[in-house]
Chain A
Amino acid sequence: MNVDPVSSRRHAVPRRRRPAGPAVAGLLVVALVLLAPSGVFAALNARASATGSVASGTLDLVLHADTGAGFSSVAPKMAPGDADNVYVDLTNSGTLATVAGMRLWVGAVPATALTDGTAPGEGLTVRLARCSVAWSMATGTCPGATTPLLATTRLSTMNTLATARALANVPALAAGGSVAHVQVSLGLVATERSVNGVPPVRTVQARSTVLTFTFIELQRTGMATRH
């Protein structure tokens, strides 16, 4: 008599099934143990609670034009060595003071060789300085005392929040305080040789993008208050 060996094995050796119940129960126990303390803590404190009012402060940074049009216009057909300057004020319009310092990063849409570093050693740069009085629009010079905030920096090194650069010489700002008369100077670095009208493969020529300068301030350190 022919017997199908496969079929025979399948019926002769039934698969043992371990019940899943203990494992699932163990999982629940572990989860409860880990999450339980916060619940217990809340329950105990509820019995000793008291009421009182609390209000939080706000931190709000506002950027607006100083002298000139600010960030509203376009820099067309930049060439290496050119400088495109805009003049802005940064005001802490919240109700909290800030710590000294500020950070800046510059995003670009779309990312191109101007800002992403794909043309090594080339691309847009930014430099920030502060003047004690309003800048001269005719010459782009500071009639008063100049304070550097950021040395010339390639945008490809500060094009994300994670790579935001710290600005120097920015004092702590009280509520309503400002960093006024800031010159934001955009430049272009490019050492390229065009041969018979053709630029190199990795080039910053004929590129365009929209830049977003993001200034970040941080609140003053927290204060412990006793009542």
Chain B
Amino acid sequence: MFRPTNRRVRRTAATAVILALGVGLVPPIASAAGLGGRATGGGAVATGTWGATASVTSMTFTSNTAQTTTVANTGSVALGAESYSVTLTKPFFFTPTVSLFECPVPWERGACPGGTGTRIGGTLVAPTTTTITSTTPLAVGSSTYLQVEPTGVFFLPMTVTLTPEVTSPAQLRAPIRTNR
């Protein structure tokens, strides 16, 4: 048979006193506040994505033959510009250089069909890590075509890593103001 111990009785009594004090002493806050009218409205909001992706980000050169990569806007927001983080490793001998060219259509046998490619950035001297920027706008889903042209490479391999970077808001399309 359950029998309350002295400790349990005292604890129960103390709890009851605290509750009673609470009931008696807490002021009726709710009744002191005035009426508040509320109105609500809202809607859904979603954000886009922004970024460019290169089909090839690392190239190894053992000769002066150019290599290409395709950079696509894989986000859902049009881009106004793109940057490329470029790193060149230096072979043990020689000091090769690299130039980057951009073409709106795929390169064919080292040439930009319909014209000359557009140089982006200056001539890079190995070894180096730098960032160059292209001001070519890229619509959603569209691509630009880069060609990496080395000089001074003789047998010993030189590696070029090229990583597209897009920074918001500076490299996104112009802001859009919607009134609805």
Contacts and interface: CB of A to CB of B under 8 A. Distances in A.
A80 interface: yes
B133 interface: no
Contact of B51 (A17, A84, A197, A208): A197
Interface string B33-54: 0111111111111111111111
Contacts, number: 226
Contact of B46 (A193, A196, A207): A207
A98 interface: yes
A34 B44 contact: no
User: Majority SS of interface residues in chain B?
Assistant: mixed
Contacts of A191: 167-169
A74 B44 contact: yes
A83 B177 contact: yes
B24 interface: yes
B15 to A, nearest CB: 9
Interface residues of B, number: 56
A194 B50 contact: yes
A220 B35 CA distance: 9
Given A63-B40, A79-B173, A79-B175, A193 B3 contact: no
A152 to B, nearest CB: 14
Contacts of B164: 195-197
Contacts of A159: none
A144 B115 CA distance: 53
A199 B41 contact: no
Interface stretch (A3-11, A46-54, A88-96): A88-96
Interface residues of A, number: 83
B81 to A, nearest CB: 13
B45 A84 contact: yes
Nearest to A68: B180
B67 to A, nearest CB: 17
A76 B166 CA distance: 21
A75 B179 contact: no
A188 B34 CA distance: 36
A23 B10 contact: yes
Majority SS at the chain A contact face: mixed
A86 B41 CA distance: 11
Chain B CB within 10 Å, residue with most, of A57, A81, A85, A137: A81
A24 B168 contact: no
Contacts of B167: 191-194
A53 B172 CA distance: 66
A192 B114 CA distance: 36
B172 A81 contact: yes
A139 B179 CA distance: 8
Contact of B165 (A57, A195, A217, A219): A195
Given A59-B36, A80-B169, A213-B42, A205 B180 contact: no
Interface string A84-118: 11111010101010100000001000000010000
Contacts of A140: 177, 179
A131 interface: no
Given A35-B23, A190-B168, A195-B163, A211 B51 contact: no
B16 interface: yes
